[in-house]
């Protein structure tokens, strides 16, 4: 299989349940799934989604001092750097990052983009809208306007007019979080666009953003999709305080995005011992029946100096740090992510989109641990990336 090739069949591949199947593909979908007897040596799993990226910030880590940043320090470092970055710079780095994401098995990316207060506030918006046009139907790219409390309504509305899909923001970073949340929801309600807010991003905090958001969504009767990203504060709540919050979240129909690698890096630095993990309450969220997506968030920038743009890096962290079962970790980067992103579901079933990762037929645990980097990635039945890795040892 070669990049750009449209695939009509995948014979003798191993499905998630361990069965051997012949897949027939057509018009971007799985047409049929039939039992097979001859193994091809390949396994297929649903393609992954990155539900929360920052493509405008990606791959800037080499331009800053490798400080040990908490969230406020990372924000300050980024603002200083962003003042010297133009639209072309953003486009070039974002394209490099997308190529990396896709090569690792990600066919859908939701990226937040800043509306900076210095220089042209639309430079990131224009760069990523242009990138989305270039990618066309090869990658699904959703764009979120990351509005700050200092961002005017006019700037937000201009970003939406230029092609932004979703309204985002960080009410918890505003001097007055409740009025900022109200303002953003007012704009989203007027515009009819989905909402994806950074929420409860610090472990110690006086208020719960997510609780306020859920109450507002219920009171307003919002019908558009609402997402809350990070939500790390939930992970520090005792069960008797957490349960009523999750009841509200479920009633409001809010999806939650957990971002292990970046929050493990940024959060908990104020603790001298028994350092909190900086993860949301993933187990309780799943048990409550709330849609859960997982991603990497930042990629090699002031907010996260590491990261491989790899969904299986995320699954490994969910298993190790979040104590999820392997099947739950996989769902968080595949089916759960698409639920939160409002996309048609993927899976090895007739009628599903032919968004697939083809990997060597090894134990699924090896795949989720990122043990083998050999991957063939299909989006709508078309090969969008091929990665083959070889090694030699003198052992």
CATH superfamily, with its number, for domain 9-46+347-387: Urease, subunit C, domain 1 (2.30.40.10)
As annotated, the residues of the chain forming the CATH 3.20.20.140 domain(s) are: 48-341
The per-residue pLDDT for 272 is 81
Burial class of residue 138 (count of CB atoms within 10 Å of its CB; 0-12, 13-18, 19+): middle
Q: pLDDT under 50 in the chain at which residues?
A: none
Query: d(Cα 235, Cα 233) in Å, to the nearest integer?
Result: 5
Structure tokens at 92: 């070039």
The per-residue pLDDT for 41 is 96
The per-residue pLDDT for 268 is 85
The per-residue pLDDT for 35 is 96
The per-residue pLDDT for 192 is 95
Q: What is the second-level CATH architecture of the domain 48-341?
A: Alpha-Beta Barrel (3.20)
As annotated, the residues of the chain forming the CATH 2.30.40.10 domain(s) are: 9-46+347-387
The long-range contacts involving 333-337, CB below 8 angstroms and separated by at least 24 positions, are: 333/48, 333/49, 333/293, 333/294, 333/295, 334/45, 334/46, 334/47, 334/48, 334/49, 335/46, 336/291, 336/292, 336/293, 336/294, 337/48, 337/49, 337/50, 337/51, 337/108, 337/293, 337/294, 337/295
């Amino acid at each position: 299989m070669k990049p750009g090739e449209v695939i009509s069949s995948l014979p003798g591949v191993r499905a998630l349940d361990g069965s051997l199947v012949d897949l027939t593909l057509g018009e971007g979908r799985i047409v049929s799934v039939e039992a097979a007897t001859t193994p091809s040596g390949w396994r297929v799993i649903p393609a992954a989604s990155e539900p929360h990226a920052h493509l405008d910030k990606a791959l800037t880590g080499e331009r800053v001092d490798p400080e040990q940043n908490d969230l406020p320090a990372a924000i300050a470092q980024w603002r200083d750097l962003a003042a010297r970055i133009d639209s072309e710079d953003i486009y070039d780095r974002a394209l490099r990052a997308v190529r990396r994401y896709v090569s690792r098995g990600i066919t859908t990316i939701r990226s937040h983009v800043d509306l900076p207060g210095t220089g042209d506030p639309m430079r990131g918006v224009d760069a990523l809208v242009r990138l989305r046009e270039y990618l066309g139907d090869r990658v699904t790219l959703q764009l979120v306007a990351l509005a700050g409390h200092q961002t005017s309504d006019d700037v937000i509305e201009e970003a939406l007019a230029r092609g932004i899909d979703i309204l985002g923001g960080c009410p918890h970073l505003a001097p007055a979080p409740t009025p900022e949340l109200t303002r953003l929801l007012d704009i989203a309600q007027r515009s009819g666009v989905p909402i994806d807010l950074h929420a409860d991003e610090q472990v110690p905090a006086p208020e719960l953003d997510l609780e306020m958001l859920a109450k507002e969504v219920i009171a307003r009767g919002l019908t558009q999709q609402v997402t809350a990203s990070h939500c790390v504060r939930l992970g520090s709540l005792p069960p008797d305080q957490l349960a009523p919050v999750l009841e509200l979240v479920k009633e409001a129909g809010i999806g939650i995005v957990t971002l292990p690698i970046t929050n493990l890096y940024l959060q908990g630095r104020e603790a001298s011992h028994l350092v909190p993990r900086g993860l949301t309450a993933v187990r309780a969220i799943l048990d409550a029946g709330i849609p859960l997506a997982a991603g990497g968030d930042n990629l090699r920038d002031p907010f996260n100096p590491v990261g491989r743009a790899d969904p299986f890096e995320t699954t490994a962290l969910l298993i190790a740090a979040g104590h999820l079962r392997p099947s739950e970790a996989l769902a968080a980067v595949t089916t759960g992510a698409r639920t939160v992103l409002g996309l048609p579901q993927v899976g090895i079933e007739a009628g599903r989109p032919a968004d697939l990762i083809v990997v060597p037929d090894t134990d699924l645990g090896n795949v989720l641990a990122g043990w083998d980097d050999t991957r063939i990635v299909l989006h709508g039945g078309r090969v969008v990336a091929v990665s083959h890795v070889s090694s030699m040892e003198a052992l």
